[in-house]
Each structure stands twice: as C-alpha cells, then as structure tokens.
C-alpha cells in the first residue's frame, strides 16, 4: 500500500493546439494509505483520465505522481505495483476460475501455499468457491466480472487497487454485498481502494472520501455527509441526492436572510458582505418538513403530487412558479391542497455565482 500524491496534475489530449482543451484542469491531491476513495461525476468529466494517469496508462501533460514520495510519473504501469479492475471483465477464458485468480501471484513467483491461501480467501469473499475448477468461459457475465475483481484483490502487496466502474454488469443485490465486502477487505488489509463511478449511491455507500468532478474540474472532496448537507457548489447539490437539492433564485434581505418571491427565509450564514446578485438558496428535500409549531421560515405551498415510496412520502409542491420537493414521514396525513412547509435555518445553504457562501 502507498500514499499517492498527485501534484499540480493536468492533462489535455490535444497539447499542440493553440488553445488545447483540458480533460483535467490543474489540481493537487493526496490519497492516504489504506483509505477508500470514490471519484464521482457524469460521463466525460475526467474520472477515467485521472485513474489512467495514476495507473500509468496515460502520462499527464503537466505535474507529478508520487507513490510514498517516489516520483513515478515516467514509470510504466507494470512497475507501479498497482491492481486494476475495469468496467468489463478482463479474464482468460481458457483458464479455470482458480487459475485466473492465481495468475497475478504466479507471475510474481509467490509460494504455492500463499497462492492457495489468497485464492481461497478471495473466492470466499466473492462467492466463487464453488466455481474454482470450472472454465471461466462457462460463467455468466457478472460471474466473470467477479473473477476480474478477484484478480485485482488477490495481491496484498499492491500500492493501490484502482477500479473503473467495476460493478456495471453486476445485478443490484450483488452490488450491495460486494460494496460491503470491499469495505471489509479495506478494513482488514488496509488496501488503498480507488473507485470510479457515475452512481452516487455506489460512491456514498463505499467511500471514506468522495471526489466530485465536473468538466475536468474537481468541484468538491469530502465525506458523504459533507457533500449531502453542505455542497460547495450548486452542481454538487444537484448531482448528489435524489431528488436533487431544492434551489431557488433569491434576493438578499438582511445580514442573515434572503427573500424568495415575497417570503423571508432566515439562514445561519453571514451575508453582510454579499452584493445582491446571482444569489440562490438551497435546501435538501429531506430537511423541508410540514410545519408544526414553527413561527418563522414558513412557506405556504400548493400540493401538486404525493408519492409514497414505502419508507417516506415525497411531496411535490408549488409556490408560485417555484417547485419545492419535501420528503416526509409516510405516516403524516395531508388533508388539504395547501400546506405550510418549514425551512430550518441551519439546513439552508446560500450560494452566490453557484458557490457556497
């Protein structure tokens, strides 16, 4: 395992152009030894480019990569001591499942008893024990991907395991179990795991830290709780969460409040130094509740739709032209077409030019 430093990294695929387009804008970051990281963002945002730079498949246009303070920027993939798991299975169909899992260890002259120990351990974790003697070609697509994943995890001595959307072909129930198993492997062996995905649920349930990307830019790095409760940009607020964060064009009112239409909303943010332009108020639907005894931060709305999701109800409401979504306890009965919603001040986020104040 290794601490990985990405120092002033950037990359363009057309460096000779007068105005090159950057797949990755300049950034610096450290991945600590033994931690779990998820790189999250929409298609084409630069996730895979970042992973390929770390693995050595791509040399960055600018910057350095260091493994435990050793500069590996010019080193080839095979010398960086990393494991890779790709989106689709990369296995040897003519080999048995056992030989596929053992192959990375045999190539490095591991002792036979160590190979046996690691193959048995990984196959049990991935529920492949009953298939070890079968030819890999006879397995289903998701079973083949488990083999590919197992080959990435079978070595304990790697600097990091880099995974590029490895659970795409896995069914949802198995995905949940595998994410849990990956966390257990990380906790037991302190293996540095880096997981690329466009699926926020995968990222939020897997990672210690999530790196959110948009158009080649790292827009926020943090714990799942931080990204959910205090997104640093409106993009993160929109991209993380289901439904997306409620966002409203607003006007400054006092040093700690804004107005949405004619409704005043107090916040816990000091707004005294802001100018009154490009202001938005953001609040998660999870924090918008049907009012009880509250006397301020009340919004009167018309109910458009009530959806029962089993463990909660989702209210879709209107205040004038604005749509407000609220997740409420499914036991709450809504008797009227109008209702008052409460915005807790501590849960309100204020953005200027799409950045958190």
Domain ranges of the chain: 4-235, 245-356
The yes/no answer on whether domain 245-356 falls in CATH 3.40.50.1970 is no
Q: Which fold has domain 4-235?
A: Rossmann fold (3.40.50)
Residue in the block written with tokens 């158009």: 215
Neighbours of 318 (CB within 10 A): 13
pLDDT score, position 315: 96
d(CA 249, CA 352): 10
290: three-class secondary structure by DSSP: strand
Contact 114, 102 (CB under 8 A): no
Whether 308 shows a pLDDT value over 80: the answer reads: yes
pLDDT score, position 97: 95
Residues in the chain: 357
- Residue 339: pLDDT band with limits 50, 70, 90: very high
- Residue 257: pLDDT band with limits 50, 70, 90: very high
Buried b (16+ CB within 10 A) or exposed e, 272-292: eebeeeebbbbbbbbbbbbbe
Residues of the chain with pLDDT > 70: what percent? 100
């Amino acid at each position: 395992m290794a601490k990985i430093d990405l120092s002033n990294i950037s990359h363009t695929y057309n460096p000779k152009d007068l105005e090159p387009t950057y797949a990755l804008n300049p950034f610096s970051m450290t991945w600590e030894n033994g931690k779990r990281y998820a790189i999250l963002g929409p298609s084409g945002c630069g996730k895979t480019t970042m992973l390929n730079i770390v693995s050595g498949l791509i040399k960055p246009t600018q910057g350095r990569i260091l493994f435990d303070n050793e500069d590996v920027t010019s080193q080839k993939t095979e010398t960086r001591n990393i494991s890779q798991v790709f989106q689709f299975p990369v296995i040897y169909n003519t080999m048995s499942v056992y030989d596929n899992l053992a192959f990375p260890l045999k190539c490095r002259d591991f002792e036979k008893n160590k190979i046996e120990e690691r193959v048995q351990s990984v196959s049990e974790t991935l529920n492949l024990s009953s298939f070890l003697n079968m030819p890999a070609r006879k397995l289903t697509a998701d079973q083949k991907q488990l083999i590919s994943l197992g080959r990435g995890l079978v070595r304990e001595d790697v600097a990091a395991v880099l995974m590029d959307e490895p659970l795409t072909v896995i069914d949802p129930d198995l995905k949940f179990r595998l994410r849990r198993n990956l966390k257990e492997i990380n906790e037991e062996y302190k293996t540095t795991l880096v997981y690329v995905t466009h699926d926020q649920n995968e990222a939020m349930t897997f990672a210690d830290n999530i790196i959110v990307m948009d158009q080649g830019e790292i827009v926020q790095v943090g714990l799942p709780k931080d990204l959910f409760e205090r997104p640093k940009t409106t993009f993160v607020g929109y991209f993380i969460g289901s439904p997306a964060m409620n966002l409203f064009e607003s006007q400054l009112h006092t040093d700690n409040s804004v107005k949405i239409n004619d409704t005043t909303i107090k916040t816990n943010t000091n707004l005294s130094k802001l100018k009154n332009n490009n202001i938005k108020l953001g609040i998660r639907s999870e924090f918008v509740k049907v009012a009880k005894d509250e006397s301020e931060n009340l919004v009167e709305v018309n109910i458009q739709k009530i959806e029962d999701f089993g463990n909660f109800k989702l209210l879709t409401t209107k205040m004038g032209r604005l749509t407000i979504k609220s997740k409420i306890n499914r036991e709450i009965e809504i008797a009227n077409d109008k209702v008052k919603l409460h915005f807790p001040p501590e849960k309100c986020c204020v953005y200027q030019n799409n950045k958190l104040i």
